[in-house]
Amino acid sequence: MNKADVRHILDTIGEMFPDAACELNHENAFELTIAVLLSAQCTDATVNKVTADLFKKYKTPLDYVSVPIEELEQDIRRIGLYRNKAKHIHNLCRILIDQYGGEVPREHDRLTQLPGVGRKTANVVVSNAFGEPAIAVDTHVERVSKRLGLAGWKDSVLEVEKKLMKRVPKEEWTLTHHRLIFFGRYHCKAQNPKCQVCPLLDVCREGKKRMKHAQPRKDREDKASDN
């Protein structure tokens, strides 16, 4: 893929989703960290429903470690894997208190050492809370990147991230991350992508294949209706 194709993709998704931004409700770096941790294998909409009450009850790391873990489990039980996530939150908050004065560290490598915080979560936090350029590869970003040819079909999540970082101008990393998510969440969906009306069909490997397979079906349906 050449630079012109990449620019075409970036400009097109920019026109489609100019206001794309993090959809997890939060007011600070700590709340964002908790919200992203909770969002693993869970929709942002569900997380926002849970954190609406959670963030009223728990304001600081000390608040979380001051209650039995069973109580926290009940507070987030609508979230998938809630027991493991409650454990991660407890341990994470204890580390923040003991090692960072109750504050979320700004450094990416320190963030990834916190319980329940992987590379994707750290990228979301540094980019949205601290303004550091980063591309977090979630399921939407991975799917869209591979369909559009920005990454290879067999690339790992880390390989997808590295290729995006290489092809996308650094100053556009964070915005591109959000726009790719919106594009994948609302347009290029996993099961029913809107290929028929997609302005990126010309560069989409998946879309071309789907449209090619769809045409014979349409021809058969048209022929049947004529009969």
Tens digits of per-residue pLDDT, 88-117?
A: 999 999 999 999 999 999 999 999 999 999
Q: Is 84's pLDDT higher than 50?
A: yes
Catalytic residue among 3, 53, 63, 120: 120
Do residues 193 and 200 lie in contact, with contact meaning Cβ atoms separated by under 8 Å?
no
Per-domain residue ranges of the chain: 1-17+134-227, 29-128
d(CA 220, CA 197): 22
Catalytic residue among 49, 75, 98, 138: 138
Q: Is 60's pLDDT higher than 60?
A: yes
Q: Is 146's pLDDT higher than 50?
A: yes
CATH class of the domain whose range is 1-17+134-227 = mainly alpha
* Tokens found for residue 48: 């926002």
Q: Of 179, 96, 89, which Cα lies nearest the Cα of 140?
A: 179
Q: Is 145's pLDDT higher than 90?
A: yes
pLDDT class of 220 with cuts at 50, 70, 90 = very low
d(CA 58, CA 224): 62
Which 3 state secondary structure label does DSSP give 37? helix
Under DSSP, the state recorded for 188 is S
- If one compares 207 and 171, the residue with the highest pLDDT of the two is 171
* Tokens found for residue 164: 């995006």
Q: Of 217, 180, 214, which Cα lies nearest the Cα of 196?
A: 214
pLDDT class of 184 with cuts at 50, 70, 90 = very high
d(CA 59, CA 52): 12
Which pLDDT score, from 0 to 100, does residue 219 have?
A: 45
Which pLDDT score, from 0 to 100, does residue 216 have?
A: 52
Residue the block writes with tokens 């290729």: 163
- 222 assigned to active site: no
Q: Is 133's pLDDT higher than 60?
A: yes
Which 3 state secondary structure label does DSSP give 172? helix
Classify domain 29-128 at the CATH superfamily level.
Answer: Hypothetical protein; domain 2 (1.10.340.30)
Which pLDDT score, from 0 to 100, does residue 209 have?
A: 86
pLDDT class of 41 with cuts at 50, 70, 90 = confident
CA distances from 1 to 17, 37, 123, 151, 213 (A): 23, 34, 25, 9, 24
- 138 assigned to active site: yes
Looking at every residue in the chain, the average pLDDT score rounds to 92
Q: What is the mean pLDDT of residues 172-198?
A: 95
pLDDT class of 210 with cuts at 50, 70, 90 = confident
Which 3 state secondary structure label does DSSP give 49? helix
Q: What is the mean pLDDT of residues 24-30?
A: 97
Q: Is 51's pLDDT higher than 60?
A: yes
Q: Is 207's pLDDT higher than 50?
A: yes
Which 3 state secondary structure label does DSSP give 130? coil
